[in-house]
Structure 1
Amino acid sequence: MTDFLVIGECVADIVRTPGRPDVTHPGGSPANVAYGLGRLGHPTALLTQLGTDRLGELITAHLRSAGVELLTDGRPPAATPSAIVTLDDRGRADYTFDIHWSLAPTALAVTAPHVHFGSLAALLAPGAEATAALVAGLRAGATVSYDPNIRPALLSSPTEVRARVERCVALSDLVKASDEDLQWLYPGRSPEQAAAHWLTLGPALVLVTRGGAGALAVTRDARAEGPATAAEVVDTVGAGDSFMSATLDALAARALLGAAARASLRSLTGATLAAVLRHAGAAAAVTVSRAGANPPDHRELAAALS
């Protein structure tokens, strides 16, 4: 049985560090989440678009190494999306993209109790509409999580993008965003204010990652903050995606995912939120301690937590 269905883009991250040769890593936020879930032992399927080029072969092998099942809309593949990731002297990443998303309406043979989607696949035309329609159709039988993972260089104004993001938020039971995402979408609002606004749109839980300042989790009735787990940072590529996959891992372990668990997901205590943040923060710390979007497997995460 498939535990998770992830919908979204794969991207080849070509990492560029001053004074060093370029290094290519498999990436793309939804693909990273699928890979992270696979590494944590969850049977996971990814609906995505990949070319038959060298970069597509690299990403395919990478995802399959974690047991991720690859699904497509059945159309001939285009070139594999790519991004130039430039790292500064503190390992922080800046992106330049060559990305397209043209998912067509498709019927899936695979079902799962939880669906995750996000990033460019939820925002870029022409495929974003098909993505949203598919998630809306799956929602009756699954809980849904969403991560906007905003990339301003590929998007229009915050005013136009905000409406699309909020449509996705309204489809979701769980939403994660970085403080930078929220600052871009809601200038002048604090992350706490933006998270409170999202809760009014329908989700049970909103998570906000804040880099070195840790993370925040809020529901309508509970709140928790988690400090950042100490780590020697190599780069921050994929840290938020690792946080997302580990969040889903922690919720699944507590039987809090799946359509039948919706009421329970809306009744989380502060203690449970704190435990989830600790689990997810430990995974992110492992990821930033090594190059590329390289999340921990279940043994590495258990060691980090201990």
Structure 2
Amino acid sequence: MDLEQRILSFGNIVMDGIYHVNELPVNNEKVFAHQVNWAPGGTAVHFANQSAKIGTRASVLGWVGNDSIGIQLLQLLELNGVESSLHHIFNAQTPTSIIMVDDYGEKAVVLSPPMEESRLPAPEEVALYDLQEINHLHTHLFLKPYVDSLLRECRKLGISSSLDIEALSVKSWGVEGVKDSIALATIIFVNESALHYLSPLAMSIEKSLLDLYNLGPDIIICMRGKSGCVVKSEQGMWSYPSIEVATSNSLAAGDIFASVFMNRYVGGATINEAICYATAASAVAISRSSIAVHYPTLKEIEDMLHGKGQRLLDESRG
């Protein structure tokens, strides 16, 4: 991967506390964790950490508080090789999340309140970040006015952009609001539940993807977990299987998939090649650790692809 290639991720920055438990608790039940791990989290952070792990010059843009957690986040990102442009918001708590992961890889998440939007700089100020120094922007709809401002600026400058959409984004911003953002981005990553909210009357995933593709992006990728993914571009529509592995922890698997896809694609790979690498990366990520997010190296990805992922390679070539 070319270190001159620079990918910027923008989004919510949090400190994750990951608790490994035998089973997720039910109402009024108390459970003890076997292990606990604290590490930087959030879509933008996971995307940037994975980019740095496979050799890209990765940057992350967002906000932290001026508390001890915010300071730790900056230090940990630096250790991971990520260039941080995290602006400190004084007298504000850095967001945190508590994530419980059970022995089957299932999880439950509790998020702290987000930073008050009134404390943040205006969206237009965020768009003044020197985007001309980057090759690609990746973001998600955590604060729509800020995301839209950056996406518009990228479009104006001719810089490619990708947008990650989850069901919560659609519930928060509404179908039409999300569709407006989709029209600004180059590449869309969407999961099945979000796709259903965006196109509830469609009779198939393929029809839903076509509806979103007609809004203007170049590529739409529906990530379906163990069912693989479906991709729509000007070249057509294809389904790809997942790689079967035992799941230890599915945390950040979608962010890792998106990061590896974008790094390969921006680096000159075909859509097909980028999807294969991304699928292998997510398979490595979910099968390595029950207590922490595992960011695969390029060697681990290629070993998975040419091992358990051989079926994926064969079917993609066919």
Q: TM-score, normalised by structure 2?
A: 0.79
Equivalent residue number for residue 8 of structure 2? 5
Q: Which structure has the larger Rg?
A: 2
2: CA distance between counterparts of 1:57 and 1:302? 35
Equivalent residue number for residue 172 of structure 1? 185
Letter in 1 for 2:129: L
1: CA distance between counterparts of 2:44 and 2:81? 15
How far did 1:67 drift? 1.8
Summarize the Cα distance change of 1:119–1:236 in structure 2 as closer, same or farther, 3 Å threshold.
Answer: farther
1: CA distance between counterparts of 2:299 and 2:162? 25
Equivalent residue number for residue 293 of structure 2? 293
Q: Does 1:55 align with 2:55?
A: no
Equivalent residue number for residue 274 of structure 1? 272
Which 5+ residue runs of structure 2 have no aligned equivalent? 22-31, 307-318
SS in 2 for 1:31: helix
Asked whether the 8 Å contact 1:177–1:209 carries over to 2, the reply is yes
Equivalent residue number for residue 78 of structure 1? 92
Deviations 1:145-195 (A, max 9, x none): 110234x3xx6847x522232122111110111112223444454432221
Asked whether the 8 Å contact 2:136–2:266 carries over to 1, the reply is no
2: CA distance between counterparts of 1:286 and 1:60? 26
Asked whether the 8 Å contact 2:220–2:232 carries over to 1, the reply is yes
Asked whether the 8 Å contact 1:3–1:113 carries over to 2, the reply is yes
Which residue of 133, 148, 171 maps to 1:132?
Answer: 148
Equivalent residue number for residue 214 of structure 1? 228
Summarize the Cα distance change of 1:94–1:196 in structure 2 as closer, same or farther, 3 Å threshold.
Answer: farther
Aligned length: 280
2: CA distance between counterparts of 1:17 and 1:293? 12
Summarize the Cα distance change of 1:79–1:136 in structure 2 as closer, same or farther, 3 Å threshold.
Answer: same
Q: Which stretch of the first structure deviates more once superposed, 230-239 or 63-72?
A: 63-72
Letter in 1 for 2:245: A
Equivalent residue number for residue 161 of structure 1? 174
SS in 1 for 2:176: helix
Which residue of 14, 19, 24 maps to 2:17?
Answer: 14
Summarize the Cα distance change of 1:72–1:14 in structure 2 as closer, same or farther, 3 Å threshold.
Answer: closer
Summarize the Cα distance change of 1:72–1:57 in structure 2 as closer, same or farther, 3 Å threshold.
Answer: closer
How far did 1:2 drift? 5.3
Equivalent residue number for residue 135 of structure 2? 113
How far did 1:114 drift? 0.9
Letter in 1 for 2:183: A
2: CA distance between counterparts of 1:141 and 1:73? 26
Question: What is the 5 A alignment of 1:222-241?
Answer: 222-241=236-255
Asked whether the 8 Å contact 1:2–1:45 carries over to 2, the reply is no
1: CA distance between counterparts of 2:5 and 2:59? 7
Identity score, percent: 23
Which 5+ residue runs of structure 1 have no aligned equivalent? 256-271
Q: Which stretch of the first structure deviates more once superposed, 73-82 or 29-38?
A: 73-82
Q: TM-score, normalised by structure 1?
A: 0.82
Summarize the Cα distance change of 1:198–1:108 in structure 2 as closer, same or farther, 3 Å threshold.
Answer: same
SS in 2 for 1:137: helix
Deviations 1:214-243 (A, max 9, x none): 111111441222211122211100000000
2: CA distance between counterparts of 1:184 and 1:119? 15
